[in-house]
Amino acid sequence: MDEAPLSTRPISDHALLGDCRSAALVTSDGSVDWLCMPRFDSPSIFARLLDETAGYWSIRPTRPTEITRRYLDDSLVLETTFRGPDGTVVLVDALALGHGERGHSMGASSPGVLLRQVTCVEGRVPVEVVYAPRPEFGLVKPLIEPVRGGLIAHGGAHVLTMSTPIDLRVSGAVADTTHTLRAGERLGLALRAGWAWGPEQPCLNPRHIRRRLKDTVAGWRSWSRLHARYQGPWQDQVGQSGRVLRALTFAPTGAIVAAATTSLPESIGGERNWDYRYTWIRDTSFTLQALATAACEMEETAFFAFLARASATQLDHDVDLQIMYGVGGERDLSERPLTHLSGWRGSAPVRVGNDAWRQRQIDIYGELLDAAHQIYQDAGPLDTLTRSFLIGVADAAAHHWSEPDQGLWEIRGPSRHFLHSKLMCWVGLDRAITLAPLLGATSRVAGWTRAREQIRTAILTHGWNHQVGAFTQAFAAADLDASVLMMPMVGFLPGDDPRVRATVNAVATHLTDARGLVHRYHAADGLPGEEGTFLLCTFWLAHALALAGESDPAKRVFQTAASYANDVGLLAEEVDSATGEPVGNFPQAFSHIGLINAARAIRDTALVIAH
């Protein structure tokens, strides 16, 4: 079939597959264009998402069809239906869960198996299969050879076993065939990735593939039943967002990655292309709130335990807390460009690693302590190391709050006195004061209280701009920033405070585009080009409006942001201001977190008004 290079395909055309360790993205016409195994941050096996030469695996009818797709109920198992002149086939795709994994055990083992099953439900349909693995982000063109029950591909660190009951023609580093299916017939295929020096991975037979698919559906549904906690408006979207967060969780450690991809651009054709397959401390408190709504205590506890272990260090006046980690707790995330890849729609460079790990962001003290407050406020005695670490975090917030940093948005320019950073230091000390008896730190409460009140005075004095009539991005600055919407969310000021209302109105007026979506800021940030509107910030506006008692405007803003989910309920990071097209890494955990938290806030506000 003739086609344009698929690195130009819309980002929102992809659906996510996950096994709570790694991720794949599948296009609407049945091509796996992104797959990293065995971890989210592993080198890719398929990366046509970033360059047409970087590998894919396509299964689809040979003639044009009408395509619909959905996730099977309460799961992340994808079903794509192709209806065309020859008949109808249904393709089911999943990253396999370990055999018998249910509920909280999902992702406990590491099967590393991509399952694909295509079934003809009517007619006689020629189906094309094209398999072009390109390990290590397309650097390796493996040697492919037929074996009993499938194909083996050797090259680089991996050996790939593709199970197939039909013969594929091998030509160089591509294997393909066209096979006609009749009504009632099905094909089961699978891909397993193993290490080149490890034991050979046997091919799976079609019956085994069918069983693994059914078992994976059952695993996801068991988790969804355990976590159907949210009752209220947008219940389906909240439930789906909870499953996305679970899919973006690295089960062995509890880490949650910011997104499944690297280098999908914030600005088409620009350089704002980052690797998001890591975990940020800044996301912690909002993530835990979302997990409390759409998941359960197990996910909250595992995520916070990971961050506490990864970030544990001896804090003193000369040592800052690192802002982000690899999914195994790795600290050195040094960034490098992959110059052989052209990038999505020519958006280069493609990067792996993220040099933001070197930045200084003092807001993370508040995120950690707010998260600890959520987890431990009703807990029993804490162990000595946890108490010592959290006391050190609070002391660091008290010591460093008055210093400049790079801020929440990781500005790659000079350090500044960002309001959000000061706000989160206030949050950290406020929560530490509450936790002091549990931490065995009542002797520190007086000092923490003095620092907290100093921060509050500084924010109210230097963060409010009389000319703008709003709280602004940084002290003594005139630029607006959507992060100031967090002031009522963290309890610094009530949502109906006149200054908060004025700030919310200023953001709605000056940072919101014609579509009703919110920009992070308009200030210079040390990078060339412009970025799109942020879905997270739009959900923040809905959240802040709800806290201000503006229920109807909050609902309208929420609906606007939620409408940018694709056909299977996935949200990108941003929306291109010129075209309205979703951009940025995908799917974006923070966008789904914003959806969950805003939905809960709007629901709770409505309940208060009703009573």
The DSSP-derived string for 63-108 is S--EEEEEE-TTS--EEEEEEETTEEEEEEEEEPPPTT--GGGTTS
The closest alpha carbon to 279, from 241, 240, 235, 326, belongs to 326
- Lowest pLDDT segment from 229-238, 334-343, 445-454, 593-602: 229-238
For residue 211, CA distances in Å to 95, 117, 243 come to 13, 11, 22
**Whole-angstrom Cα distance, residue 97 to residue 159?**
20
**Whole-angstrom Cα distance, residue 227 to residue 250?**
18
* 391 CB-near residues (< 8 Å, 6+ apart): 432, 439, 441, 444
413: how many CB neighbours lie within 10 A of its CB?
A: 12
User: Which pLDDT band holds residue 608 (cuts at 50, 70, 90)?
Assistant: low
User: Which pLDDT band holds residue 4 (cuts at 50, 70, 90)?
Assistant: very low
The residue that leads in pLDDT, 250 or 197, is 250
pLDDT tens-place string over residues 544-558: 999 999 999 999 999
Counting beta carbons within 10 angstroms of the beta carbon of residue 159, is it exposed (0 to 12), middle (13 to 18) or buried (19 or more)? Answer: buried
Burial pattern 584-594, b for ≥16 Cβ within 10 A else e, equals: bbbbbbbbbbb
Would you state the torsion angle of the CA atoms of residues 328, 330, 334, 335, taken in this order, to the nearest 10 degrees?
20
**Whole-angstrom Cα distance, residue 245 to residue 224?**
12
**Whole-angstrom Cα distance, residue 246 to residue 223?**
9
**Whole-angstrom Cα distance, residue 234 to residue 561?**
12
**Whole-angstrom Cα distance, residue 318 to residue 399?**
11
pLDDT tens-place string over residues 18-44: 999 999 999 999 999 999 999 999 999
Would you state the torsion angle of the CA atoms of residues 396, 399, 402, 405, taken in this order, to the nearest 10 degrees?
-40
Q: Of all helices (H) and strands (E), which one includes residue 503?
A: helix 498-510
* 208 CB-near residues (< 8 Å, 6+ apart): none
Beta strands in 103-173 (DSSP E): 113-132, 143-147, 150-155, 158-163, 169-171
Place of tokens 């069983």: 211
Domains of the chain: 6-223 (2.70.98.10), 242-610 (1.50.10.10)
Tell me the torsion sign for CA atoms 15, 520, 374, 308. positive
- Lowest pLDDT segment from 162-176, 400-414, 458-472, 531-545: 400-414
Question: What length is written for the chain?
Answer: 611
pLDDT tens-place string over residues 316-352: 555 678 889 999 999 999 999 999 999 999 999 999 9
- Lowest pLDDT segment from 186-195, 240-249, 308-317, 392-401: 308-317
531, 479 Cβ separation under 8 angstroms: no
- 504 beta partners: none
Query: How far from each other are the two terminal CA atoms of the chain, in whole angstroms?
Result: 61
User: Which pLDDT band holds residue 2 (cuts at 50, 70, 90)?
Assistant: very low
Burial pattern 20-39, b for ≥16 Cβ within 10 A else e, equals: bbbbbbbbbbbbbbbbbbeb
pLDDT tens-place string over residues 386-409: 888 899 999 999 999 999 999 888
Place of tokens 């651009």: 265
DSSP state letters, 164-219: -SS--EEETTEEEEEEEEETT-EEEEEEEEEETTSPPPPPPPHHHHHHHHHHHHHH
Which two three-digit tokens encode residue 539?
A: 């959900």
Which two three-digit tokens encode residue 475?
A: 């002290």
User: Which pLDDT band holds residue 313 (cuts at 50, 70, 90)?
Assistant: low
- Lowest pLDDT segment from 80-94, 299-313, 511-525: 299-313
pLDDT at 296: 67
353-357: average pLDDT: 91
- Lowest pLDDT segment from 121-130, 159-168, 202-211, 263-272: 263-272
User: Which pLDDT band holds residue 7 (cuts at 50, 70, 90)?
Assistant: low
pLDDT at 308: 80
Beta strands in 226-370 (DSSP E): 249-250, 255-256, 279-280, 324-325, 336-337, 351-352
Residue 445 has pLDDT above 90, yes or no: yes
For residue 176, CA distances in Å to 36, 95, 129, 132, 533 come to 22, 22, 5, 9, 41
DSSP code for 383:
P
